[in-house]
Structure 1
């Protein structure tokens, strides 16, 4: 389990307009709730922002961030990921997980054989996919993060039990 006390809740997509607003993609389950977790910080913690949602736009929100006044300020933040303290985020139901908690977990098949470790969590628009690094190789496998393919996530033991589709790890 990742013991980081901060969770990535969004990413800045660059300037929106000419008055210092930015495009913000929210990674929270209720996208507009991202403003409730402010102030948000950059990954290295060097910058902190209050967030005011101005309006919903395609694939996110136009927002005002404290300290960002010009289009140039906003453009300079393109690609910056924003983090909130875990303590400010809601407790999740038993069958939901923060991506940060899944990264680094060992993945074993139902027989106990090591399949790899979770390198990243990706979203293809329908279901999340676990990017699993294969031991002894630079290859990765995309494992569907569904109840059928991943019946057990045990954060306490730091592992996932997977029943991958036939041939996925061959």
Structure 2
């Protein structure tokens, strides 16, 4: 399995018990979706290695407590601490309407209701307090906050996102 065919689910942050159980911090708004996994890929030395899950359950709501097959003691658990967790993109639940996964909208065309064609989504910046669409407009970077009030429609068939941004926002990027 290649990394580009997968999505990042989270990271193993610490050991939980002397029987090899670990706690993973998940990068999701819905950790309960991942409570009963059969298998998961761990990133070990830049390779994705499949691990089978004996059992898993939510721990203090934001962490997932996982017992992997063949990880039976603290030494085994130590070997996988800080490993990234990945799942195949095909396992993501399909989102409807204006909800979307960040990777899904890369390459979509963004059109503003008042401004017109803005450009193409080249990346999502989620390192800021509010996630931003990074849009390429003929070599000029335009940033639009991913605010529910701004996003009017996500059309997967035509690969377009219709937004309505505050007046003047897009112009800020285009003025010389």
Q: Structure 2: how far apart are the matches of 1:85 and 1:45?
A: 17
TM-score of the two chains, using structure 1 as the length reference: 0.69
Which one has the largest radius of gyration? 2
Q: Name the structure with the higher strand share.
A: 2
What is the rounded CA distance, in whole Å, between the counterparts of 1:66 and 1:124 in structure 2?
A: 38
1:143 is matched with 145
- Aligned counterpart, 1:105: 108
Runs of 4+ in 1 over 6 A off after TM superposition: none
Aligned to 1:25: 25
SS at match of 2:151: coil
Counterpart CA distance in 2 for 1:15 and 1:149 is: 39
Of 153-162 and 60-69, the range deviating more from structure 2: 60-69
Equivalent in 63, 78, 87 of residue 72 of structure 1: 78
Question: Any unmatched runs of 5+ in structure 1?
Answer: none
Question: 2:121 matched to which residue of 1?
Answer: 117
Higher normalized contact order (CA 8 Å, seq sep 6+, divided by chain length): 1
2:16 & 2:36 partners in 1: Cα distance?
A: 24
In 2, Cα distance between the equivalents of 1:157 and 1:131? 18
CA RMSD of aligned residues (A): 3.5
Corresponding residue of 1:129: 131
Q: CA deviation at 1:123?
A: 8.5
Following the alignment from structure 2 to structure 1, what is the Cα–Cα distance between the partners of residues 99 and 123?
18
Measure the CA separation in 2 of the matches of 1:130 and 1:9: 19
TM-score normalised by the chain length of structure 2: 0.67
